[in-house]
Amino acid sequence: MTPEHATADALAFLRARDAVYAILADRETFTDTIPVGVPVTIGWGTRDRMLPSSQARVAMRRLPHARFMPLPGCGHVPMTDDPVLVASVLLDGSGR
């Protein structure tokens, strides 16, 4: 990501602050059980600085039937870092 792209993303996020606060104020924690037959894939950027790998292990414990896919070289927004890899993981996980 170029410095200009990062700056533009940060400014867009700041402009959307009210929407972000509204979403966070009304969030719900997912507590349901996912049936064993429902495919779940957890893709985790190996360079994510917002959600460390320890959080991936928490997700894996909470979703024991999920397939865990490390996304090499990707950070917190892997679809920006490697869109082809993310598309591949999504398509593979959806059975296509």
Give the span between the Cα atoms of 3 and 14, in whole angstroms.
17
**pTM of this prediction exceeds 0.85:** no
User: What domains can be seen in the chain, in order of their start residue?
Assistant: 3-93 (3.40.50)
Predicted confidence at residue 96, as pLDDT, reads 56
Return left, alpha or beta for 95; rule: phi > 0 is left, psi -120 to 50 is alpha, else beta.
Answer: left
Q: What is the pLDDT along the chain (96 residues), one digit of tens a residue?
A: 789 988 998 899 889 989 888 888 888 887 888 888 888 899 999 999 888 888 888 888 888 889 999 999 999 999 989 999 999 999 998 875
Residue in 27, 91, 47, 93 with CA at minimum distance from that of residue 66: 93
Predicted confidence at residue 24, as pLDDT, reads 84
